[in-house]
A = this chain, B = another copy of it.
Amino acid sequence: MDEWRMKPIGHVRSPYTDVQQIPKGLGAQHAAEGTIEILPEFEAGLLDIEGFSHLLVLWVFHQVEGFELVVTPPADTRPHGVFATRAPWRPNPIALTVVELQGRAGSVLRIRGVDMLDGTPVLDIKPYTSNVPPEQLRRGWLADAEDRKARQ
């Protein structure tokens, strides 16, 4: 059977020690600062990363067990398929956050835009290199929920 084993390349240091502290829902701002401490054996993989202003960080919802296929996310009062949301109860508990890279000191990346718990395992980091043309972007139920909130 197809199965892949993933191990941490490092861990997040964050001001958040409880999920209740992490801003969620419509208009949530992720301005918190923290670091990613890469394991020493992977530090060489960071060469030239400081040239990028933003990184895609893939990490594990390590405190979540099991999954739900239909969820009601914090940004809405209506249920949606889990693959149409960022909810943590996913078949593969992988999360993705775009963070701003503020600096690097050896194996430690200083980042802004943290929405992870302290101690979160990181699986991968990739450079953020391009946007979707804004005029082509449709945001489904999220845009609808924002519209409803704006009319309240």
User: Which residues of A does B touch, CB under 8 Å?
Assistant: 1-9, 38, 42, 44-54, 56, 58, 60, 62, 69-70, 79-86, 90-94, 96, 98, 100, 121, 123-129, 131-132, 134, 136-144
Contact = CB atoms under 8 A, between A and B. Distances in A.
B84 A48 contact: yes
A8, A84, A144: most-surrounded residue (chain B CB, <10 A): A84
A47 B79 contact: yes
Given A6-B6, A8-B2, A44-B81, A92 B139 contact: no
A4 B120 CA distance: 13
Contact of A4 (B93, B128, B140): B93
A54 B140 CA distance: 10
